Structure 1
Amino acid sequence: MENIFDTSVLVQVVPNLKTSQNWLLDRFFPNVVTYETEEVAIDVDVGLRRMAPFVSPLVEGKLVEQRQYQTNVFKPAYIKDKRAPDLRKPIRRQIGEHIGGEFTAAEREMLNLQLEMADQIDMINRRLEWMAASALTKGKVTVAGEGYETKVVDFGQSADLTITLSGSDQWPLSIASGATNTQPSDDIEAWQTTFLKNSGAVPTDLVFTNKSWRAFRLDTTIKDNAITFPALSPFGNQINIGAQIQKGAVYKGRWGNFDLWLYNDWAIDPVTGIEEPLIADGAVIMSCADLMGTRAFGVILDPAFNYGPLAFAPKTWVKEDPAQRLLMMQSAPLVIPSRVNASLCATVV
C-alpha cells in the first residue's frame, strides 16, 4: 500500500469520458421552449394539396373551406433526480485534490455538490437525446419508470414513414466480386418520394448506424460515383469510407441531396440496467431542418420555484436528525418533432 506521506504527487485526474452528447438534439431539435403549464402545445398548419375548383363564369362562385390548423397538446414526462451525498466526503480528499488536502471541509462540500449537479444535468441531457432518438425512429416516446404509469406520447406520424425490410429486401452486408448491388440507392430514391409526399419537406440528412453504413457503401453505383471516382462526379458526390468515430455522429460526406452521418451513442436503461444503443444498429434515419424539432419543458410542480417554467430546477436542503444533505434536480421535458412526418426511419439490416 502506498504511503501518502511519500514524495508522491497527484499529477492528473482521469476524467469520465462517457458524458452525454446532444447531436440529435442539436441537429434536429434546436428549438427550446418553456411553458407555464403542465401540458405543452404545438400549432400545426395542416397542409393539404388542394386545387381551385372549376365553375362556369355564369354561376355563383363555389364556396371553398378556409385553410385549417390544428393544435397538438402533449404532457411532458417528469424527472426528480434526488440524491443523498455521502456526509463524509467533505472531510476526505476530493478527486484531483493534492495528497494531504488543500481545501476546507466547506469548500469540499460545495465542490461535491457541483459535481453531483453536473452529473444530474448530464443524465437529463442523455434522457433528452434518448427521447430525440425515439421520436425520430418511432414517431413516439414511451415514458416508463418505477412507480410510474407507462404512457406513450404518440406524435401521429404516418405509418408509411416507419419501414422494416425483411428477407431478401434487406441491404446486403457483402456482395460477390463483380456483382451489381443497387438496393440501398433504389430504396432511398423511393423513400425520399414518400417523405416528400407525406410532409411536403425536402430531406437533407441520412443518419446511419454501423451496419446500415456498411451496407450503404456496398451499393455499386454509390461506390463508383462517390467513393472510387468522386472527382468525376459533376454533382459534388464524395464519401469518406475511412474509419472515423466521434461522440454522437461523424460526417461521412455528401451524396445526391444528402449529408451523410454515422451515429453512435448508448445509454443504460434505468429499468433493466442494460446498456443499449440509442439508435438500434441496422437503422437509417432520413430527416431535415423542416422537422422543426422542439425541446419543450413544462412547469416545475414545486412552490419553491413558484410553479415556474424551468429546464432544470435544482434544490438542496438539510435533514436535521440524522444530519443529511439532500440534493434534487427537477425537470419536465419532452422532445417534440413539430412536423412529425419530416422524419423517416428504415430498419435495413
Structure 2
Amino acid sequence: MPDNYTTRELLGAIQQAGIRRDNFFMRFFFREMYTFNTEKVDLDMIPNKTKIAAYCSPMIGAAIDRNQGFKTSSFKPAYVKSKHAVTANQSVKRRPGEPMKGAMSAGDRQNAIVMQNLDIEEQAVRDREELMCAEMVYDGKTVIDSPYIDQPYEIDAGRNPDNNITLIGAALWTNQDRKTYDIVADIEKWAAESEGLTNVVIADPKTWALMREFTTFNDKVETRRGSKSQLETALKDLGATVSIKGNLGDVTIVVVDEEYIDRAGVTQKVQRDYHLILAHTAVRGARLYGQIQDQAAQREGFDEAERYVKDWTEGGDPEVRYTKTESAPAMYLIDVNKVVVVKVA
C-alpha cells in the first residue's frame, strides 16, 4: 500500500492541480492576505487622512504636526476543518471512469481518493471563507457561531450605521411607480453616504430584475459596455457566477449569483436577495490567518499558513487512512465605510 503524503507534497499537489478556487466576494473585496504565528491576529490600522500643510513665513519655523498614530485591532479568527476517511473497502472498488476490469491497483485508488478528498476539503473551506467575506461586506462584521464552539463571537470592522440602509413601507422599490420613479436618484443619494467614491454597484438577480422594471432606469443604463481593465481583472475567471450588466455613467453594474451547500445539505445563496452593494474597485479588504492549532503543523513548520493539510493512518485492526484540511481565517474589510449596502425590497 502507498505511504502517506507529507504536508509539503499535499500542498504541492493542490497548487499543481489548480484546486484552489476564488469566489466573487473574496476575489473582489479581499485581495490582500496575511498570516500570523499567533492564535490571534493583529491589524495595525494607520489613519489615512493627512492634514493639509499650513501656510507659514519662510522665516518662521514650521508648525509641528503630531505623527499619525495607530491602533491595533486584535481578534481571534475562526477555525475551520474538513476531514475524510480513506478505508480499505474504498480502494478495492472500481472508481467511476475506471475500465471494467479495474486497471488501477488498490494503491493507485487510494492515492486518487486522497486527491479527491483534498479537492472536496479545499472547496468546503473556501466556501466557508466566501460566506465570511460576504457577511463582512453586507454587515461590516462576521459572526462566528457553531455547535462546535463554546461561545459565539464577532469580528467587527466598525461600519458606520448610516452605511447600512433598509427601505421600509412606502419607500420600498416594490411600492414605486415603475413608469415614473427614478431609482437612479436613490443610488446617487446612497453613494453620498460612502467615505469614498462609488464606481461599481453589485446586485443579486432579483434586485437586477426589479431594477429593469423601471422605465427611467432603462433609459439611463448603458448596456453596451467597453473594457474596464481593473474591473475585468477583478472578475477574471469567475465564470457563470458573475455578469457585468451595464453602466450608469462611470458606475458599472454587476450581478452575482453564487451558491453553497450548508451543513444540513441544503443549497443556499451567498448573495442576499434584494440587496444593493455600492463600492469601489479599489476598496481594501484582507484575509488574515491565525496560527494552525496542530502540533504536527508546528513540528513541520506549517503553523503560520493559510492552510494546513494532513494525510495520516490510525489503528491496526483495521488501519484507516485520513485526510484533513484546516485553516484559521478572519476576513477584515479595511475600507468598511467605503461600502454602502441597501435593502431595497
Q: Verify: 1:166 aligned to 2:168, yes or no.
A: yes
SS of alignment partner, residue 26 of structure 1: helix
- CA 1:309 to 1:60, structure 2 compared with 1: closer, same or farther past 3 Å? closer
CA distances 1:214-259 after superposition (whole Å, capped 9, x unpaired):
222334333113359x79xxxxxxxxxxxxx953211112222312
**Corresponding residue of 1:87:** 88
Normalized against structure 1, the TM-score is what? 0.79
Q: Verify: 1:317 aligned to 2:317, yes or no.
A: no
**Corresponding residue of 1:240:** none
CA distances 1:287-337 after superposition (whole Å, capped 9, x unpaired):
223321112222111221226212221112211233211221111112211
TM-fit CA distance, 1:187? 1.5
**Corresponding residue of 1:212:** 207
**Corresponding residue of 1:348:** 344
SS of alignment partner, residue 132 of structure 2: helix
Code of the aligned partner of 1:278? V
**Corresponding residue of 2:257:** 264
Correspondence list, 1:53-132, <5 A: 65-132=66-133
Name the structure with the higher helix share. 2
Alpha carbons 1:316, 1:326 under 8 Å: kept: yes
Aligned residues: 309
- CA 1:146 to 1:87, structure 2 compared with 1: closer, same or farther past 3 Å? farther
- CA 1:174 to 1:166, structure 2 compared with 1: closer, same or farther past 3 Å? closer
Code of the aligned partner of 1:116? N
Q: Verify: 1:326 aligned to 2:318, yes or no.
A: no
Distance of 1:61 and 1:292 partners within structure 2:
34
SS of alignment partner, residue 136 of structure 1: helix
Q: Verify: 1:151 aligned to 2:153, yes or no.
A: yes
- CA 1:54 to 1:30, structure 2 compared with 1: closer, same or farther past 3 Å? closer
- CA 1:282 to 1:124, structure 2 compared with 1: closer, same or farther past 3 Å? same
SS of alignment partner, residue 341 of structure 1: helix
Higher alpha-carbon deviation: 75-84 or 39-48:
39-48
Q: Verify: 1:186 aligned to 2:185, yes or no.
A: yes
TM-fit CA distance, 1:49? 7.7
Distance of 2:253 and 2:203 partners within structure 1:
8
Percent of residue pairs bearing the same amino acid type = 25
Distance of 2:262 and 2:135 partners within structure 1:
13
Q: Verify: 1:202 aligned to 2:204, yes or no.
A: no
Code of the aligned partner of 1:154? D
SS of alignment partner, residue 121 of structure 1: helix
Structure 2 unaligned runs (5+)? 1-19, 226-237
CA RMSD of aligned residues (A): 2.9
**Corresponding residue of 1:277:** 269
Distance of 1:330 and 1:225 partners within structure 2:
48
Q: Verify: 1:305 aligned to 2:297, yes or no.
A: yes
SS of alignment partner, residue 337 of structure 2: coil
Alpha carbons 2:222, 2:248 under 8 Å: kept: no
- CA 1:90 to 1:277, structure 2 compared with 1: closer, same or farther past 3 Å? same
Distance of 1:53 and 1:169 partners within structure 2:
46
- CA 1:49 to 1:191, structure 2 compared with 1: closer, same or farther past 3 Å? farther
Alpha carbons 1:44, 1:339 under 8 Å: kept: no
**Corresponding residue of 1:223:** 218
Code of the aligned partner of 1:253? G
- CA 1:130 to 1:265, structure 2 compared with 1: closer, same or farther past 3 Å? same
TM-fit CA distance, 1:111? 0.1
Normalized against structure 2, the TM-score is what? 0.80
SS of alignment partner, residue 314 of structure 1: strand
